[in-house]
Structures are given as C-alpha cells and as structure tokens.
Amino acid sequence: MNPNLVSTDWLAERLGDPEIVPVDGSWYLPDAGRDGAAEFRERHIPGATFFDINAVADVSSDLPHMLPSPEVFSEAVGALGIGSGSTVVAYDGAGLFAAARVWWTFRVMGAAKVYVLDGGFPKWLAEGRPVEAGASRRQPQRFEARFDQTAVKSADEVAEAIAAKSAQVLDARSAARFRGEAPEPRPGLASGHIPGSLNLPVQEVIGADGRLRGEDELRASFRAAGVDLGQPVVTTCGSGVTAAILALALEGVGARAAGLYDGSWSEWGAGGRPVATGPAKIS
C-alpha cells in the first residue's frame, strides 16, 4: 500500500485520540454543484476540522487556491486545531480529489505526519462509520510551518526544465483538454498544453471505487503516458489540485514528484506562454 494512505479501519480505531486530526478538504469544480463546507456542517468524521483550500491560500493572487505564505498557513491551521505534532488524515467527499491537495500542502509546509484516507468519506459512509454534524469543536493549537520551496515550481522553472530536459512535466487534465479539443472550465484560458509536457489524466490513476489504483496498475499508467519513473517528474493540472493526485500516485510506485507547478494551466494558459495542441509527443 502507498505509505501515504491510511485505511478507514486504522482511523476508526484511533477516533478520539487528540493527536489524530481528520481534515475534510472537500472542494469541487463549480459545475459539480456541491459545497464542501456546507456538506461538512451536515456531517463529517467525528473530531474532524474543515480545511478550505480557497481560504487557506494566497488570497491576493488572481489564481485559484495558490499556496499561502508559511506565516498565514501556520496561523490558519493552528486556529483549526492542528499542531506541529498532529497526525493529519486528509479526506474529501469525492473519494480522492482535493484531499491530495491538502496532503501535499501540509507536506510542503513541513508537517511530518500527514496521510490521505484511502477511499475517503464515501468509503467511510458506506461502511456505516460514525459521523457528527455542526462546526468543528477542536481547540486551537500551535503550528510552525517549515516551507519546502523546492517542492513548488513556477512557470519559469517549468519552462526551464522542459528546455533543459531536466524533468518531465506531467499534466493530470483530461486528454481532450490536454489536446486542446475541449474548452477549459475557467474562462479566458487557451486550450492545449505546455509544449513538451506529457499527459496522464487523473482518471487513469483512480479506480471506479474512487480509490488510488494499486502499484502494478499505476506503473502501467505511467508507462503508457511515456513517463520514465527513474527521472524527475513535475506535476501540473488545471489549478494545482489534481496535480497533487499524480504526486500521491508517484509515491505509490516508490518514486517522488520533483515538484508541483502551483499555477498550472490557470497561469500558463492565461497568455504569454507558448501553447501546444494535439497528443503528447512520447519519445
């Protein structure tokens, strides 16, 4: 099993442990018609707190849910009842979607013990596990972020990596969006992809049950996408959310992402950067 996943059994056995913090990071694309915060208030894992990726973010940026400063992050998650020594278990209402972004964010900010709940809230509910309603009742804690700048890539760094062939850039968007055959869900963005990048739609690493696929299936998916797992991989997507799922999947095959392009296509496709269309050129 991926070392970053914990089972519903594991979490259920530890409910009530003050050091274990279930973190609901549910976030959905606008066309999903779902509200993560409202769903949390309706029901959530007992003892959980809600992490809003749009609020715990760089709100001064025009780009969606960009990483906040370490100082802003520390203050925000401390207020949520998460301390530096807490064991964070991220989950979401889709099974595996925004929880991976929460996992990645805590990792970037130096959290030593952070995991993703395998199967997420859908699996928890299907097994008849306990839930509670209302706002979180966790008491504030002290969190001191230790920011890992190397894990976050800028547009210039992505362009340089492709030009120098120092890293593979792997895009999690759908094949139709990558090829430029489908419009972007956000207005004002070009259709297509970063020239020289590869495409592994996130749906290829998640099973029908909403769980991350096993190691053999993941390896096959990376291989089919033209990824050399022995070389550095930088992940990207539409706005930095599903790119984190690819980062999680890489660790499921014993690799590790060399970085995540936080601005992703929301930045690159907004203009001023070259755009390619059609399928990826796999060498």
Q: Which residues are catalytic?
A: 237
CB 87: neighbour CB atoms within 10 A? 18
- The structure tokens 């409202």 sit at 38
Cα separation, 214 vs 186, whole angstroms: 32
CA distances from 158 to 92, 153, 164, 175, 275 (A): 29, 7, 10, 20, 13
Q: How many CA atoms lie within 13 A of 121 on its CB side?
A: 26
Sheet holding 87-91, edge to edge: 5-6, 114-117, 87-91, 20-24, 49-50
